[in-house]
Chain A
Amino acid sequence: MTMQVVKRAAADYRWVKPPEWCPGCGHFGILQSIYNAFAELNLDPANVVLVSGIGCSSRLPHFVRTTSVHAIHGRAIPYALGIKLANPSLEVVVVGGDGDLMAIGGNHLLHLGRRNVDMAVILMDNSVYGLTRGQAGPTLPAGIKVKAVPKANPHGEINPLLLALTAGFTFIARGYSYDIKYTTKLIAEAIRHKGSAFVQIYSPCVTYNNVMTREWYEKKIYKLEEADPAWDPVVHDEKEVDLKIRKALDKIVERDRLPLGVFYRNELVPTFDERYESLYDPNYRKLPPALQPVEADGKSVVDFEKLVADRLL
């Protein structure tokens, strides 16, 4: 029997029920980019797990025809992490908003980066809490007053890419939701990347963020490789790490203009799988926790007396 290679199209990843965001919402562009990227990578929908927390953006998995877990606020990353650790052959992708991933779930983002687990996190950044009607999100700059809150924002903003770089993410990129082609490319690259990948996607909220609008973004954004044709974010040699980090930082901290593209990419850092395999369990990827039989005829596969041998009298 010959294996039939199925070539899937973007439409094959569309769930039966249609998306339900406000008309014009930036998230539609991200959803389409995800369909496109999955098709480009020809991912088996039964082997993908899309994981989200709570918020407008976290509804996204409901509109995608892959396996998904719509979890609780702020914890998308640890749920996704558990799935990936238990079965590293799965393609695990996290989506979430700036409130979910940067505020209530910020700690998990930090710790995913330093572990370099091979999965992608897609931040759908609109700087407001849409589902609870427009409070300031953690990426809203200080001094900006969005329409649902009575006064300007007294909190400073988090720069998600700066945080991701510090945390140790080995792929760092930024996109813009209305540029579907470009966002598709970034998401596909993030998924393809070997290690923890982080993609921030500016995704204007047409209902609650009346300041950071489509017009506002489009005056500021530009593409790294267009501004500098020699732009190369890839670490080709370990000796280049510091240099590439400095170059990425230089771009990440820009405020007046907002660069899009891949800022940093380093596949020379061992992934968590590789580290775990070399330190704990040489068969980890061959026989991961989720795929091991644990009993035969009701009897544990582990030899109990051998297990406790150093404790027997």
Chain B
Amino acid sequence: MFIYGVGSAGYYVYARREFWSNIAGGRHSYVVGTVSDRWPAPAPGNSVELALTFDGHAVLEHVFHLRRGGYLVYNTEEDSKTPDSYPMMAKPLAERLKHFAKGQGFEPTVRNFAEYLRQSGVEVVGLPYNKHISEIGRKIGVTSPVMLARFVNTFVVALGAALLGLDEEYVARGVGFALGKKADVIEQNKKVAAEAIKLVEKKMTNLQPRSPGVKRIFWNGNEASAYGKVVGGMRLVVYYPITPATDDAMTFERLIPFPVGKDAGELAKLERIGAMAFQAEDELAAVAIATGGAIAGARSATATSGPGFSLMAEALSMAGMMEVGIVVTLWMRAGPSTGQATRQAQQDLFFSLFIGHGEYPKIVYASGDLEEVFLDNIRVANWAERYRVPVIHLVDKNLSNTFAVMPLPDPSNVKVQTTPPVVYPQTKVAEAYPLEEVVPPRLLPGVSNAIFHLNSLEHDPEGDPEEDPVAVTQMFEKRMQKLKLIESEIPPEEKVLYFGPADARRIIVGWGSTKPAILAALEELKDVGFLYVKMLYPYPVDLVRRYLEGREALFVENNYFGQLAMITRMFAGVGPTAVALKFNGRPITTDDVVEAYRKFEAGQKTIKLESDL
């Protein structure tokens, strides 16, 4: 509601949601972000200027995230509560807070922590929420406690809007987005907002409504991925529910049937076209069903996270052997095992590279921000069909729960490229794997008039089992030649990107969702370059080597091993000067990158990042 409201005043927003992996009604979640009049709005750091809290738990959890000069909005009705009042608060945090209060010589109440913040230079706006909401209710003729409870969100959002200098109109727009467009609901909430705004005298800024002059979209990473799938021609998306991947497939499902464009060729006469979203019984089935769909000729994908991806290993090896192109959108989360289902990590790079037994060609490609998530979905759909290999599209929890108001990307930046199926005039037996073609002809059952055998066993060109050593060697080499083809056809700018001064002596190297934080940090760090790697397999050895040679390189990663650093050494023979690693389930922030770089400059080789926002 708040993000949309601020966005509706013409601003860009970049935010992410953090939440506990538990069942509804437990610990709270929060959203942290930045508001800007330009895009990209910078990635958030380790502290905030404005904290809008609903309860004392949130105040306590974020005591050390508020910066001097920042604003805390909180409910004074929670003043007397302590960490022990909140049964869902993490025990180690409660202990840290109590220990801190003891050291400061005060009782660990919400009031005392708010006072501590005030003394530390934070502006504290404390209001008795429920008392005010009841009063507002009386004014606008609402007295039912159930109805009043529904106003809390609007009330708190309005307090935030007031501090930013925005009026109730923008809160009402947020309400309209979050709660639906029912006019009476919006009107009522608008009145609540107007009254709430009057309660705030202070102002941290005075945002002027502006017109950004470009079309903007409000979405999150899961949604950006689903939109990319729709535009990129995915027509069978199979999934088994898993956090944080499910919303990718479910958004795709929600969008069926899709609106047809005017330039849609033979489809233009239709208003809408369909597709299939399919919930499988497990991930073994999900990947197999998607592969079956691709065999029949549909662009097919499955979206999953680590535990589900583990179950897909055998099927990916088969897709490599059988030469079927499918996309796995892998929403990485913090492992190992069930790990932290709702938390961030980049731990599955090794696994993506080496998943599946035997040796077979594949593509592993990572996206780093929402625009990339969207456009890369089109790219990977193209590649799966073009090269007929499994394509693992690496994204993560951080991206899935990034919410942005941002310029609408232009889908025509990536062409949708298809390979027409072979159609014989008369039914014939056809070779599914002719030796003279690196990528086999596109034979489709029921379409090509072809009778052909696809095989998971090593096979001859006709798809029949083959173990003759000479024939095996030929077929093996033919399959593996796809890696060279992929390397030669995909342009360098889609594999790695370099930001910053061309002659920087020191560079930061990263991949995936650390990109926005590293880019924001570059603004603060002088004379530093950023080598951003998107293509992880086949690894762009020459490009990476060219950027790394003669430079000191700090690899910044959301994992324990420094997996990109290790594969860079393995493939390119160039190692890191230092690594900065974070594996506490939280994303790498702009402040983390700056901190890591300072330590790197000071000569530290292994830097552990531990910020907790």
- Interface residues in chain A, defined as those with a beta carbon under 8 Å from any beta carbon in chain B: 17, 44-49, 51, 54, 61-62, 65-72, 74-75, 77-87, 89-90, 107-108, 110-111, 276, 280-284, 287-308, 311-313
Contacts and interface: CB of A to CB of B under 8 A. Distances in A.
Nearest to B253: A280
Contact of A312 (B217, B314, B449): B217
A90 to B, nearest CB: 5
Per CB-CB distance, the 7 closest pairs between chain A and chain B, nearest first, are A82-B292, A281-B274, A294-B233, A296-B265, A78-B288, A289-B235, A289-B298
Contact of B259 (A82, A108, A306): A306
Contacts of B286: 78
A311 B278 CA distance: 24
Nearest to B411: A304
A21 B405 CA distance: 64
22 contacts: A47-B446, A49-B445, A67-B445, A68-B454, A70-B455, A70-B457, A71-B288, A74-B284, A82-B238, A82-B296, A84-B292, A86-B276, A87-B444, A107-B284, A281-B257, A294-B299, A296-B263, A296-B266, A300-B233, A301-B264, A304-B231, A307-B258
B261 A301 contact: yes
A280 B427 CA distance: 34
Contacts of B227: 304, 307-308
Contacts of A75: 284-285, 288, 315
Contact of B263 (A90, A108, A299): A299
| A17, A68, A69 — most chain B CB neighbours (10 Å) | A69
Given A299-B261, A308-B217, 8 more contacts: A67-B445, A82-B295, A82-B300, A83-B445, A108-B284, A280-B274, A282-B274, A302-B273
B8 interface: yes
Interface string B189-227: 000000000000000000000000001111100010001
A301 B318 contact: no
A297 B236 contact: no
B576 interface: no
B72 to A, nearest CB: 28
A110 B281 CA distance: 9
A290 B264 contact: no
B274 A307 contact: no
| A46, A72, A284, A311 — most chain B CB neighbours (10 Å) | A46
B284 A295 contact: no
B275 A283 contact: no
B260 A303 contact: yes
A49 to B, nearest CB: 5
B408 A71 contact: no
A294 B416 contact: yes
| A66, A281, A306 — most chain B CB neighbours (10 Å) | A281
A72 B454 CA distance: 12
Nearest to A51: B292
A78 B263 CA distance: 35
Nearest to A313: B216
B289 interface: yes
Contacts of B296: 49, 82-84, 86-87, 90, 289-290
Contact of B416 (A68, A298, A313): A298
A81 B296 CA distance: 10
A24 to B, nearest CB: 22
Interface residues of B, number: 88
Contacts of B429: 65
A300 B298 CA distance: 15
| B216, B292, B454 — most chain A CB neighbours (10 Å) | B292
B34 interface: no
B456 interface: yes
B427 A313 contact: no
B453 A61 contact: yes
Contact of A293 (B267, B314, B412, B464): B267
Interface string B104-134: 0000000000000000000000000000000
| B289, B450, B464 — most chain A CB neighbours (10 Å) | B289
A54 B426 CA distance: 32
B465 to A, nearest CB: 7
B261 A290 contact: no
Nearest to B236: A289
A44 B447 CA distance: 12
Contact of A86 (B260, B267, B292): B292
A49 B236 CA distance: 19
Given A82-B291, A87-B296, A311-B219, A300 B445 contact: no
B454 A83 contact: no
B281 A276 contact: no
A85 B278 contact: yes
Given A280-B256, A289-B275, A300 B416 contact: yes
Nearest to B416: A295
A160 B371 CA distance: 50
Given A46-B449, A86-B236, A281-B256, A287 B274 contact: yes
A83 B276 contact: no
Contacts of A71: 288, 318, 322, 456
Contact of A78 (B285, B299, B427, B444): B285
A300 B261 contact: yes
Given A45-B451, A311-B218, A313-B216, A87 B288 contact: no
A87 B276 CA distance: 11
Contact of B281 (A108, A294, A306): A108
A61 B462 CA distance: 13
Given A292-B235, A301-B265, A83 B295 contact: yes
| B217, B233, B266, B453 — most chain A CB neighbours (10 Å) | B453
A33 B55 CA distance: 71
Nearest to A114: B281
A70 B285 CA distance: 16
| B230, B261, B450 — most chain A CB neighbours (10 Å) | B261
Given A78-B280, A290-B444, A299 B453 contact: no
B276 A85 contact: yes
Contacts of A66: 451
A87 B294 CA distance: 10
Contact of B415 (A46, A80, A298): A298
A111 B293 contact: no
B260 A302 contact: yes
B611 interface: no
B298 A290 contact: yes
B473 interface: no
A110 B264 CA distance: 40
A89 B446 contact: yes
A295 B418 CA distance: 8
B314 A308 contact: no
Contacts of A305: 215, 408
Nearest to B12: A313
B291 A313 contact: no
A67 B453 contact: yes
Nearest to B270: A283
Contacts of B277: 280
A77 B451 CA distance: 21
